[in-house]
Amino acid sequence: MVKEIAAATGRRKTAVARVRLMSGDGKCVINDVDSVKYIPSEALRNYMLQPLVITNMKGKFDLAVSVKGGGVSGQSGAVRHALSRALIMSDASLRDALKKAGCLTRDSRMKERKKPGQPGARKRFQFSKR
């Protein structure tokens, strides 16, 4: 039985991620799938695990992640946010480094809704003077 150290929720756009930190050797499982298979882009994986690199904790924790909503980019941002919050729960002295790197800011930009009588959120039908 692996002891859970901390758990936190992170969000970006419409994606919501729940991260559980457990003592281990650095394995990351997202929705019961290995992170390399779930997020094929190495750049997004590095972005997602940035809080561990900043705090020199890479390889010290196993991550169990549950994420839903949004796309691959939004989900990796949500995991990054949740991971930062979980690390702070485990050790409050890491807050300054993570805050300075911008890992604690929730990216709230969402797709704007389509308005009635228009073809899109901002686009208008072509204006005709006569």
pLDDT of residue 1: 57
pTM of the model: 0.88
Run of H or E including 73: helix 72-90
pLDDT at residue number 75: 96
- Kindly tell me the sign of the dihedral angle through the C-alpha atoms of 71, 77, 83, 88: negative
pLDDT digits (tens, 9 = 90+) for 61-107: 999 999 999 999 999 999 999 999 999 999 999 999 999 999 999 99
pLDDT, the chain, mean: 93
Beta carbons within 8 Å of 18's beta carbon, 6+ residues apart: 7, 8, 9, 65, 66, 67, 82
Model pLDDT for residues 34-48, shown as the tens digit of each residue = 999 999 999 999 999
User: What's the average model confidence in pLDDT over 28-34?
Assistant: 95
SS3 content of the chain, % helix, strand, coil (to 5): 35, 25, 40
Report all structural domains of the chain as residue ranges with CATH numbers, in order of start.
4-100 (3.30.230.10)
